[in-house]
């Protein structure tokens, strides 16, 4: 059994994708070709933002807005320690300091109530709090109604880490469209993935859009200034073949979301008496990047994951070590007990196979293995 099945999906799009790839081989605009422009148009329309800037990875999609806004040494950026390392890594890459805020029991997402204290902590360390990076963890958008309010009160702008959230919604708006700017990833295992690395940034802000386009290509100037490097940027371009893969996958993405929801519903109805299953609060939909559950203890998690492995079923722990306890962040002085909810999740969480092509029999096999563990 596969944790994520990309082969069944490939079979659905193979013929039309090969046509697109062949066209690219022949037209020769291999990087930032017409497919990339078409993709940016379609993605902006899908997410519901004025602008979309396609780029080379989710990490670069998070990095570019920080560079464009001039975040740097002495600045603090708030985010959660219960996420993939890239969320905080980009803050360190621009020379700013990540300041962690614990997550909420229930949703795995940043706890808006704990933000004012984190801002005060950052100021007490002599830092200037600038921005907030909520993460749409496992596919569920964070609580943007409360986050936008607290961010405004505290003078922070929001960079949405929608690297797992693309396709999820809150209050009728799609992930990627919250805050000043949103970032997503098209790593192959994400809900919408290409066949390599890719990402995108979303915003309604015209000025930020042109800054992002400049940062994406080594800080190049606009129009007549094109051959001037007017700021420090990166090589953050997307190639045309990855855009072609994404254009094909977008045509089946909504039907895949329906199937992801089918799988999640089947898991939850069978497992809810055995494990803490994921909560999707009223007004939200998840794109189910991961289906993550909580065992009652580390020992129980080990036993269940062992039983799954015996039955030939893959399962994975996201995330085994919260970022404040990672060696790379030892310099921030984080210690056990600082973020108890994140630490508790790290000790009990694990994720089950999740993809749109999971069959009813496979779901039964997985649930039986868990219920009998």
Ligand X SMILES: *Cc1c(COP(=O)(O)O)cnc(C)c1O
Q: Which of 22-30, 53-61, 243-251, 340-348 is the region at the interface with ligand X (rule: CB under 6 A)?
A: 53-61
Long-range CB pairs of 356-365 (<8 Å, 24+ gap) are 356/9, 356/255, 356/256, 356/257, 356/258, 356/259, 356/260, 356/263, 357/5, 357/8, 357/9, 357/259, 358/5, 358/259, 358/263, 360/266, 362/1, 363/263, 363/266, 363/267, 363/270, 365/1, 365/311, 365/313
Phi, psi of 207 (to 5 degrees): -65, -45
**Nearer Cβ to ligand X (35/161):** 161
72: number of Cβ within 10 Å:
13
Work out whether 163 is an interface residue with ligand X (CB under 6 A): yes
Q: How far is the CB of 169 from ligand X (least distance, A)?
A: 18
**Nearer Cβ to ligand X (75/160):** 160
| Spatial separation of the C-alpha atoms in residues 294 and 284, rounded to whole Å | 21
Residues from 97 through 126 that contact ligand X (CB under 6 A): none
Structure tokens at 154: 């505290």
Q: Which of 9, 59, 109, 342 binds ligand X (CB under 6 A)?
A: 59
Element (H, E) at 91: helix 86-93
**Nearer Cβ to ligand X (183/363):** 183
| Spatial separation of the C-alpha atoms in residues 185 and 198, rounded to whole Å | 6
Binding mask 142-161 toward ligand X (x if CB under 6 A, else -) reads -------------------x
Work out whether 135 is an interface residue with ligand X (CB under 6 A): yes
Work out whether 86 is an interface residue with ligand X (CB under 6 A): yes
Binding mask 199-218 toward ligand X (x if CB under 6 A, else -) reads x-------------------
**Nearer Cβ to ligand X (164/285):** 164
Work out whether 164 is an interface residue with ligand X (CB under 6 A): yes
**Nearer Cβ to ligand X (81/369):** 81
Q: Which of 20-28, 79-87, 97-105, 224-232 is the region at the interface with ligand X (rule: CB under 6 A)?
A: 79-87
356 in Cβ contact with 6 (< 8 Å): no
Query: How far does Cα 221 stand from its chain's mean position?
Result: 30
Which residues are at the interface with ligand X (CB under 6 A)? Answer: 57-59, 83-84, 86-87, 135, 161, 163-164, 185, 187, 197, 199
């Amino acid at each position: 059994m596969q944790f994520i099945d990309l082969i069944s999906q490939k079979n659905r799009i193979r013929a039309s994708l090969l046509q697109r790839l062949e066209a690219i081989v022949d037209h020769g605009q291999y990087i930032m070709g017409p497919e990339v422009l078409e993709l940016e148009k379609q993605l902006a329309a899908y997410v519901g933002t004025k602008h979309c800037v396609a780029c080379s990875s989710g990490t670069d999609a998070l990095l570019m807005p920080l560079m464009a806004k001039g975040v740097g040494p002495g600045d603090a950026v708030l985010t959660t320690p219960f996420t993939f390392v890239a969320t905080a890594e980009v803050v360190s890459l621009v020379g700013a300091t990540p300041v962690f805020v614990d997550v909420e029991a229930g949703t795995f997402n940043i706890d808006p109530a704990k933000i004012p204290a984190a801002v005060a902590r950052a100021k007490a360390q002599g830092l200037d709090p600038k921005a907030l990076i909520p993460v749409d963890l496992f596919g569920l958008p964070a609580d943007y109604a409360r986050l936008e309010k607290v961010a405004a009160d505290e003078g922070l702008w929001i960079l949405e880490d929608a690297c797992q959230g693309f396709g999820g919604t809150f209050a009728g708006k799609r992930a990627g469209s919250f805050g000043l700017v949103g970032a997503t990833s098209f790593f192959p295992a994400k809900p919408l993935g290409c066949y390599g690395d890719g990402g995108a940034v979303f915003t309604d802000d015209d000025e930020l859009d042109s800054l992002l386009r400049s940062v994406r290509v080594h800080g190049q100037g606009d129009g007549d200034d094109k051959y001037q490097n007017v700021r420090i940027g990166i090589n953050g371009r997307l190639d045309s073949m990855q855009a072609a893969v994404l254009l094909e996958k977008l045509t089946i993405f909504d039907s895949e979301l329906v199937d992801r929801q089918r799988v999640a519903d089947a898991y939850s109805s069978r497992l809810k008496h055995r494990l803490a299953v994921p909560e999707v609060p009223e007004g939200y939909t998840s794109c189910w990047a991961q289906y993550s559950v909580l065992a009652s203890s580390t020992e129980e998690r080990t036993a269940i994951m062992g039983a799954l492995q015996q039955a030939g079923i893959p399962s994975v722990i996201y995330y085994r070590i919260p970022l404040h306890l990672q060696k790379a962040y030892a310099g921030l002085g984080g210690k056990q007990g600082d973020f108890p909810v994140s630490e508790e999740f790290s000790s009990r969480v694990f994720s089950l196979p999740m993809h749109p092509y999971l069959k009813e029999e496979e779901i039964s096999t997985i649930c039986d293995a868990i219920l009998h563990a």
